[in-house]
A and B are shown apart, each in its own frame.
Chain A
Amino acid sequence: EVQLVESGGVVVQRGGSLRLSCAASGFTFDDYTMHWVRQAPGKGLEWVSLISWEGGRTYYAESVKGRFTISRDNSKNFLFLQMSDLRTEDSALYYCVKATGSYPYGMDVWGQGTTVTVSS
């Protein structure tokens, strides 16, 4: 079974740092682009970042550029999101998402999410 399990979400103070992890299983992890997508309470989906299959190419939403870093460990089937200089508007449920095979910007498997709360 294809599965993505996120962890690392906690309550953190404004200006603080945090690293989210995502454990992937059930598929050949290093064949696929991976994404992070977030959803603030009661709001819509917001794409955060993506990383290519080999980790050589990374892209970020303007709202997190320079503060967040996406990375992956293909030997251990893990995806990460290092978050720094956190703002209250970063509070959200963060989803780890697998890209579709033929369409790297499409997303076919979603984790259940991990909640980040940034307190002021």
Chain B
Amino acid sequence: QSVLTQPPSVSGAPGQRVTFSCSGSNSNIGAGYDVHWYQQLPETAPKLLIYGNINRPSGVPDRFSGSKSGTSASLAITGLQAEDEADYYCQSYDSSLSGVVFGGGTKLTVL
């Protein structure tokens, strides 16, 4: 059971918009700790997608966006493409655990 809760799967057709939720608590996201998002393509290392809740590293298309509110955060992908099919993980810091925490990950299927 992960400290950050993500739905196991999400799907969408090419061109559509999909969102990924990440639900935490008052000891992590709700305490003001930043949320970061990672994309893991099959058989590859994770890649930073969004850092500091809303920021995109250079090279990440603006189709990807992040937001945070209260004890939750979200990742949105617009203009869905086949190459977006991957696992997506949210991550933050938890003060009660004094450590970094990941969500369980959401598998995106592009229909």
Contact = CB atoms under 8 A, between A and B. Distances in A.
A65 to B, nearest CB: 9
Interface residues of B, number: 27
A105 B102 CA distance: 11
A102 B106 CA distance: 26
Nearest to A47: B100
Contacts, number: 69
Residue picked from A50, A100, A105, A110, most chain B C-beta under 10 Å: A105
B36 interface: yes
| Interface bin, chain A | 20 to 34
Contacts of B51: 100, 102-103, 106, 108
A112 B47 CA distance: 11
A61 B48 contact: no
Interface of A: 35, 37, 44-47, 50, 59-62, 95, 100, 102-103, 105-108, 110-113
Given A44-B2, A44-B89, A45-B89, A107 B102 contact: no
Contact of A47 (B47, B102, B104, B105): B102
Given A46-B102, A110-B45, A110-B47, A105 B97 contact: no
Contacts of A106: 34, 36, 48, 51-52, 91
